[in-house]
Amino acid sequence: MHWKLFATLREATGHQEVAVEIEEDATIRDALDALLQNHPELEDELFSPQGELYNHIRLLQNGDDPFLTGDGFDADVGPDDELALFPPVSGG
Amino acid sequence: MHTVSIVGEDASVLLERLVGRLSARGSLATITKRSSVSSQASPDDITRIEDSGDITELPAQPAPGHENAIHYTAAGADVAYGHAAEGWSGYGTTDRSIEELIDDLAGKYDYCLLEGHTGGAVETIAVGEMDTDTPLLEIDDPETCALEPILEQIDDTTPHVTLETLVNDVQTVSAESQAGAIATFTGRVRAKEHPDDTPTEYLSFEMYEKVASDRLDTIREELEAREGVHAVRFHHRTGVIERGEEIVYVVVLAGHRREAFRTVEDGIDRLKAEVPIFKKEVTTDETFWVHDQADQQ
């Protein structure tokens, strides 16, 4: 699967898109762990000192919010999935 | 309006072939950039051009039959139009950039082909030996090359959209006869919030393209489902946008003014809150992502 990163997160890693290898029964948490293994510099951008994903960070799975429509971190991830992480939107 | 510039020595050969095909697909404008050599064209050149049908070396003259335009512009008119049953011509003396010309055409034509223009945001097709930065296509033989792949590439370019494009577009919907109002919103780059602020130089926008386009479609469908709202259009530019330039448009065609105004306001509010677009601001002193700035305030 691959991750898409935007704005501050893209700048922190220097990549708009990051492909990661995951197991067949992987969840979003596994995909996020794989991303952080490749890019530990994201840790401070994404997580509070208590280890919680910051409230202002958005995570989408194929365009949908898994925390609203699915199982959140426990949602299954397939090999063709696109996961995205970004800070608050600021268009207009 | 899909806008592409054909560059290279034999650009006109390809351009002429493309004009025939594109004009069958939609309305088409062409902008010919005169080379410095032909700028000294004499009246003899006009005859030669009429004879040969050569569109590449237009001299600095108005269309035949509209010579008065020269007198009027010399007397002070910024632009002089000629009008006749068989057509019209325009002749201007003011210093207008190619970008301004393209903006003017964007509301009226489906395609714009430029000849010999490089630079700016316009995609290019390079003909023959031509040292151009990242052309859309490179064509070796403009006389025999297949046109279909070129036409497909032109159709795939990101269309040039202005407020006028959207205003014209909403008026083509079938419910247009029940619409008495068009309301529009234009967002532009503000240099300063207060008079003594450090001025913003430019904003740089990044978009999560596919998701942004899906979100905008959803917002548009929901707003168009409102009673009395007949059409809603959005357009948000990306990349670097300098101070004073336009960023975003919302256009609403509605039965009456009240639902038009309300829907324009809700449209821009929802775009700003829901669509994955990210803004980086560069002032004369610093560079920052706008969401970070909002956190600090």
Greatest distance between any 2 Cα atoms in chain B: 69
- Name, in order, each residue with C-beta under 8 angstroms of B214's C-beta and a sequence gap of 6 or more: A63
pLDDT in tens, B219-273: 999 999 999 999 999 999 999 999 999 999 999 999 999 999 999 999 999 999 9
pLDDT at residue number B70 = 77
Query: Strand, helix or coil at B226?
Result: coil
pLDDT in tens, B135-147: 999 999 999 999 9
pLDDT at residue number B92 = 80
pLDDT at residue number B57 = 41
Rounded to 10 deg, the angle between the B209-224 and B257-274 helix axes is 150
As a whole number of Å, the end-to-end CA separation of chain B is 41
Whether residue B248 lies within 8 A of chain A, CB to CB, comes out as yes
pLDDT at residue number B296 = 43
Q: Across the strands, what pairs with B263?
A: none
Q: Where are the beta strands (DSSP E) in chain A?
A: 2-5, 17-19, 58-61, 82-86
Residue B129: how many CB atoms within 10 A of its CB? 9
- Report whether pLDDT(B41) > 60: no
Alpha-carbon distance B124 to B120, whole Å?
A: 10
Among the partner-chain residues A58, A86, A92, the one whose CB lies closest to the CB of B268 is A92
Average pLDDT in chain B: 87
Interface of A with B (CB under 8 A): 4, 6-8, 10, 56, 58, 60, 63, 84, 86-92
Which DSSP symbol is given to B110? S
pLDDT at residue number B53 = 41
For B239, half-sphere exposure in the C-beta direction (CA atoms, 13 angstrom radius) is: 4
Contact: B279, A91; criterion CB under 8 Å? yes
pLDDT in tens, A35-89: 999 999 999 999 999 999 999 999 999 999 999 988 999 999 999 999 999 999 9
The secondary element (H helix, E strand) that includes residue A6 is none
pLDDT at residue number B39 = 38
More reliable by pLDDT, B165 or B291:
B165
pLDDT at residue number B60 = 56
pLDDT in tens, B143-172: 999 999 999 999 999 999 999 999 999 999
Contact: B291, A6; criterion CB under 8 Å? no
When scoring A8, A54, A86, A90 by the number of chain B Cβ atoms within 10 A, the one with the most, hence best to mutate, is: A90
Contact: A6, B276; criterion CB under 8 Å? yes
How far is C-alpha B122 from the geometric centre of its chain's CA atoms? 9
CA-based nearest distance A66→chain B, Å: 14
A66 chain-B contacts, CB cut-off 8 A? none
Q: Does CATH number 3.30.420 belong to domain B2-156? A: no
Q: Where in chain B is the domain with CATH 3.90.1170.40?
A: 163-295
A60 chain-B contacts, CB cut-off 8 A? 211, 276
Q: Where in chain B is the domain with CATH 3.40.50?
A: 2-156
pLDDT at residue number B64 = 66
pLDDT at residue number B218 = 98
Per the structure block, which two tokens stand in for B202?
A: 């430019």
Q: Across the strands, what pairs with B232?
A: B252
- Number of H helices and E strands in chain B, helices first, is 9, 14
Whether residue B179 lies within 8 A of chain A, CB to CB, comes out as no
**Global pTM?**
0.85
A3 chain-B contacts, CB cut-off 8 A? none
Q: List own/partner pairs for B225-228 with CB under 8 A and 24 or more apart.
A: B226/B259, B226/B263, B227/B259, B228/B254, B228/B255, B228/B256, B228/B259
Q: Where are the beta strands (DSSP E) in chain B?
A: 2-7, 28-32, 79-84, 87-92, 111-115, 123-127, 137-139, 181-188, 200-207, 229-236, 239-242, 246-254, 277-283, 287-289
Q: Is A6 left (phi over 0), alpha (psi -120 to 50) or beta?
A: beta
Give the mean model confidence (pLDDT) for residues B28-51.
56
Domain B163-295 class?
alpha beta
Contact: B272, A63; criterion CB under 8 Å? no
For B136, half-sphere exposure in the C-beta direction (CA atoms, 13 angstrom radius) is: 22
C-alpha closest to that of B182 among B250, B110, B84: B250
- Report whether pLDDT(B42) > 50: no
CB A65 within 8 Å of CB A85: no
pLDDT at residue number B77 = 86
More reliable by pLDDT, B272 or B47:
B272
Contact: A91, B205; criterion CB under 8 Å? yes
- Report whether pLDDT(B36) > 50: no
pLDDT at residue number B102 = 94
Per the structure block, which two tokens stand in for B175?
A: 């419910």
Complex ipTM more than 0.85, yes or no: yes
A87 chain-B contacts, CB cut-off 8 A? 278, 289, 291-292
- Report whether pLDDT(B291) > 50: yes
Give the mean model confidence (pLDDT) for residues B63-78.
78
